[in-house]
Structure 1
Amino acid sequence: MQKSTDPRSARSREALVEAMIRLLDEQELAAITITDLVGRAEITRPTFYQHFRDLPALARAAALIRLEAMFPPESFDGSGLTPAEEFAHTEATVCAILAQLQHHAVFYRRVIHGAGAFELYDDFVALLETRILSDSPFGARIRGSLLLDPADRVTILSGGLTWLIMRWLDTDFSGDNAVDPMARRIANAMIALSGGLP
């Protein structure tokens, strides 16, 4: 649904998203009703439908908003870095994102196992594509690829990373699935698959 520039409409949408985040922190998506949601958000049922077609659409929006907040706000220009420096930066960035995902793992598990999970996967891939191309040291390398169309390359990379992360969210986060070793695996994959030195 289209976002409105009306401040009241924006506040209503924000209240719905915040209410969904709180409810998903407490219970499964299937257990949440629109009545529960609008009561928690302190808005009316018609207002809900002005913003979202159903609860899974709102859950996806809430998950994306929470995910977007995890990414560093500034662009990172990786030009001039040695391979070791590029790896260290990538690993630290991925580690910070994974730590946030782990902190909210129950929330994300409830969204990715709820209705509309395929659309959420697609949204996550699109978000990663944008961030990799514009806010990472890999964008220029991917755009300069001669072997594969850059759009295909970033989609394959983002899709694979999204799948790895979604599977990781279902683990117990121990051993090889602890944040640090997982961040190392993802950093290696990002560098190698974008055409850098692993």
Structure 2
Amino acid sequence: MSEPQPRNKDDDPRLLRTRRALLDAVVALVDADPSQPISITKLVETAGVTRPTFYQHFPDVSSALQRAALERVATVLPPFTGVCTPETIEQTVTQHALPALIHIDAHRAFYLRSIEGAATAAFFEELVQFVSQRMLTRTTDDLSPLASEKLSQLSDVIAGGSMWLVVRWIRGDLLCTPADLAARMADTARLLYLAQFLPAEGR
């Protein structure tokens, strides 16, 4: 009797390996020379896979690069843990964002390349959703459904604003250190948090 086949490509070890090889290759190529155009031919040669295999995973090089950027930043932006309060949110955001910003600053050319090119709007939306989910944390131990929905919306707003600041910073429109940018993001998060969750008389 033949071995059972994986149910989908996410379970297929071969496809997982070739996808990883392509993502590692695009990172290596951009890190080596951020200004050099990358062809699919060059990418598959570096990854050691075939051109049809590339198209099993990505429609174009920009999509592969943007996926690699998301996975790369995920390694330095773990999910928030614990419970945020008005007294701790600014410190929490600063401590959480700063390592990621230091990493992005060290690899600025890579991330600049990733936000250029095709599908940037879709990539930005996916990035905002990713950051929002990483930021989503409780304000109390037992949120009501309405409060949970408000928190989710607030996380989206903070993530969207934060990512726009980061994109401008990567492009050189904002001239500041990672620490300064983290502090700016944290202060904005605190103000939005207070406006959303504190009664008017407590602000």
Q: Provide the TM-score with structure 1 as the length reference.
A: 0.82
Separation in 2 of the partners of 1:95 and 1:44? 39
Separation in 1 of the partners of 2:78 and 2:124? 21
| Correspondence for 2:94 | 91
Cα offset, 1:144, TM superposition: 5.4
| Correspondence for 2:192 | 193
**Unpaired runs of at least 5, structure 1:** none
Separation in 1 of the partners of 2:13 and 2:108? 32
Given that 2:26 and 2:65 are in contact with CA atoms closer than 8 Å, whether structure 1 keeps it comes out as: yes
CA deviations 1:42-75 (Å, max 9, x no partner) are 00001101111111111111111011111126x4
Q: Helix, strand or coil for the counterpart of 1:31?
A: coil
Residue 122 of structure 1 aligns with an amino acid whose one-letter code is E
Separation in 2 of the partners of 1:62 and 1:121? 14
- Runs (4+) off by over 4 Å: 137-146, 148-151
Separation in 1 of the partners of 2:72 and 2:140? 23
RMSD: 3.0
The alignment of Structure 1 onto Structure 2 pairs a total of residues equal to 189
Separation in 2 of the partners of 1:89 and 1:153? 16
1:13 to 19, 30, 51: 19
**Unpaired runs of at least 5, structure 2:** 1-7
| Correspondence for 1:60 | 66
2:109 to 106, 110, 128: 106
Residue 65 of structure 2 aligns with an amino acid whose one-letter code is A
Q: Helix, strand or coil for the counterpart of 1:4?
A: helix
Separation in 1 of the partners of 2:69 and 2:139? 25
Q: Provide the TM-score with structure 2 as the length reference.
A: 0.80
Larger Rg over CA atoms: 2
Separation in 2 of the partners of 1:150 and 1:142? 10
Aligned-pair identity (%): 30
40-49 vs 186-195, which moves further? 186-195
